[in-house]
Structure 1
C-alpha cells in the first residue's frame, strides 16, 4: 500500500474514530444510561454531566496506562529477574549495578551533566535574550542562534566531530593549536575534560530553546516597573538582576528543569562521539551496553534513570501549576 494512502486512511480512521466515540458516548449517556425524561430527568442530567468528563478522558487514560504505566511496572518486575528472565533475584541486579565501578562512573557523569548543562544553557539563553532584545537586528541573531534546534542530536554530533577531530586539516581546535606549534591531540580522549566537550554540543543545541522562552518572559515584564527603577537611579545591571530576573524566576525554573530532564535522558551525543569510551559513559549509554546481553541489568539501569528523572518532573509540574495560578 502506498505510504500516502496509508497516511490518508490513518487520518480518516483516527479522526472518524474520535468523532464517533464522542458522539456515541454522548448518545449512550443521554439516551440509554441516564435519559433526560420522566420524574428523574433532573437527577439523570446531573449524573450524566458528572460522568461525561471521565468518559471523554477514558481514551487518554487508557492509552497512558497501556503505553506508560504498564511498561514502567513491567520493567520494574523484569529488573528483578536474572539475565535469562527465569530466576527471581530480587534486588540482586541493583546491588550488582552499584558495585560496578563503570556504573558509578556513568552515574557521576550524569550528575555532572545535570549540574553544568542546565545552568550554562539557561544563563546563556537569558543573556542572549536580554542582549538581542536591545538590538535592531536582534531577530536575525535569534534566528541564527535558534537554528541548531532544527538539527538532530546525531547530526549536531557529526558537525562537532569536525571541530574536535585530531587531524589538523579537519579539526578546528587542532588547526589552531598546531598553528602555534603545539602537537595535535584528540580532545575527546582527555579524561574528565572530554565530558565538558560533549556538553558543549548540547548547550549549543538547547541555548536557542532557552533564549526563545526567556525572551518571551522578559517581554512580559511590565514596563512600569522598569521605568520606576530607572527613575529611582537604577543602572542597567540593577534593572536586569533586581527588576527583570525576579519577575521571571518561575519561567527560569521551568526552563532549567525542562533542560535537566532532557540531560538525564541524553544518549545520542555520547554514543555518536565516543561510544561511552574514555570515561564519558552516562546512564543511557551504559544501559545500551547491557541491552543485548543482560536484560535484567539493562531494565535495572532504565528504572534508575526513571527514578532520577521523576523528582525533576514532579518539581516541573508543581512550578508550572504555580505559574498558572
Structure 2
C-alpha cells in the first residue's frame, strides 16, 4: 500500500505546480503593464521563459555539470583524478570496440528505419490495405525493448548441426538445406543481428512520422508533375522527397540519438560479449559492476559529445526548412 504521506505529497505537487505557474503568469502580466517600455523589452521575455529555463537548469544543466565534475574524480569520487578517466577513453580497446559498434548502430539503424518507413509510407499510401500494412510495421513499437530482445533471442537460438534447431531462423535454414548460424556468437553476424532487432522495433516510429508528413503534402504538386510527364520515380525524387525533407531530418535525428543510447537489446541478448559492446552498456558496467564512478561519468560525457552534433545539425536543417 502506498503511504499516505506520499499520496498527499503527490496531490500537493499536482496542485502546487499549476497554481505556481498561474500565479507566475499573473505576476509577469502585471509587471509588463507597469514597467517602462525599455525595461519591458529586456526583462519581460526572460520572465516569460523562466518557468521553462529553471527546470532545464535543474534537470539538465546541473546534472551535466555534475557529471563533468565526477569524470575528473577517481573511482569513488573521493580524490582528484584529472584527465585519467579521459585517458582511459583514448587508450582502452573496449572503448574503441564500443565506439565502432555504435557507429554501426548509427548508420544501419538510422538508414534501416528511414528506408523501411519511407517504403511503407509511400507504397501503402491510398491503398485499401494501408491500415493493415502500417499496423504490422508499427505494432512492434508497442513492445518494450527488453521483451523484444527476449523474443529475438529465441528467434536467433543456435544448436550445433545435426541437432533439432529450436531457433526459428536456424530451423528455416536447416529446412532449406543450409547450415545453422550462431547469430549472436559469430562476429560476422552478431552486430547486424542486434541492429536488425532495433530496426524491427523502431521502424514503426519512422513510418508514423513519414506517413503523416506524406499525407500532409498538397496533391497539386504531384498532379503538376504528372502533367509535365514525370514518372513515378521522378515524381518521388524531385517532388515528394524534397517536401518530406523536414520530416526525414527529424526522424533521422531521433533514431540516431536512440542508436547512441542503444542498451536494452545488447544487454539482454549478448551483454556486450563477442565484440558487441556499445557505449551505453560499457557505461552501465563501469557504474554498476565495477562501481567506477569516474570512468562511468567520463563515458557519459563522451556519449553526450557524440550526440550533440546530431542535435545541432537537426536544428540547422529544420531552421533552413522553416525559412
Matched, 1:234 2:237: no
Could you say which residue in structure 1 is the equivalent of 2:109?
A: 117
| Distance (Å, rounded) in 2 between the aligned partners of 1:107 and 1:24 | 50
Deviation digits for residues 305-324 of structure 1 (CA, Å, limit 9, x no counterpart)? 10000000111122222233
Deviations 1:22-68 (A, max 9, x none): 334445x26xxxx74xxxxxx63663465333223212212111211
Measured in 2, the distance between the counterparts of 1:5 and 1:170 equals: 52
- Higher alpha-carbon Rg: 1
Shift of 1:144: 2.5
Deviation at 1:243, TM superposition (A): 2.1
Structure 1 residues 17-96: aligned runs within 5 Å: 17-27=20-30, 29=31, 36=34, 44=36, 47-48=39-40, 50-96=42-88
Determine if contact 1:154/1:272 at 8 Å carries over to the other structure: yes
Give, in whole Å, the separation in 1 of the partners of 2:190 and 2:50. 48
Tell me what 1:142 maps to.
134
Instruction: Please state if 1:307 is matched with 2:305.
Output: yes
User: How far did 1:142 drift?
Assistant: 1.3
Partners of 2:58 and 2:11 in 1: how far apart? Answer: 26
Q: Distance in 1 between matches of 2:268 and 2:7?
A: 33
Aligned residue for 1:187, secondary structure, equals coil
CA shift for structure 1 position 302:
0.7
CA distance in 2, matches of 1:193, 1:235: 39
Residue 39 of structure 1: aligned partner: none
* Aligned equivalents of 1:58, 1:91: Cα separation in 2: 35
| Contact kept? 1:258, 1:316, Cα under 8 Å | no
Per the alignment, residue 266 of structure 1 pairs with 262
Structure 1: distance between partners of 2:42 and 2:308: 32
Identify the residue that residue 118 of structure 2 maps to in structure 1.
126
2:167 alignment partner in structure 1: 171
Unaligned runs of 5+ in 1: 37-42
Q: Please, which of 13, 17, 21 is the counterpart of residue 16 of structure 2?
A: 13
Q: Which runs of 5+ in 2 are unaligned?
A: none
Conservation of the 8 A alpha-carbon contact between 2:226 and 2:235:
yes
Q: Take 2:11 and 2:147, find their aligned partners in 1: how far apart are those partners? A: 30
C-alpha distance in 1, partners of 2:246/2:97?
Answer: 33
Residues 1:321 and 2:313 are matched in the alignment: no
**2:195 alignment partner in structure 1:** 199
TM-score (norm. length: structure 1): 0.88
Worse overlay, 241-250 or 118-127: 241-250
Mapped partners of 2:272, 2:217: distance in 1: 44
Maintained 8 Å contact 1:192/1:279: no
> Secondary structure of 2:151's match?
helix
Distance in 2 between residues matched to 1:5 and 1:77, nearest whole Å: 36
Q: Larger deviation: 105-114 or 54-63?
A: 54-63
1:167-187 CA-to-partner distances (Å, cap 9, x unmatched) read 556411121123245554431
Q: CA deviation at 1:7?
A: 4.8
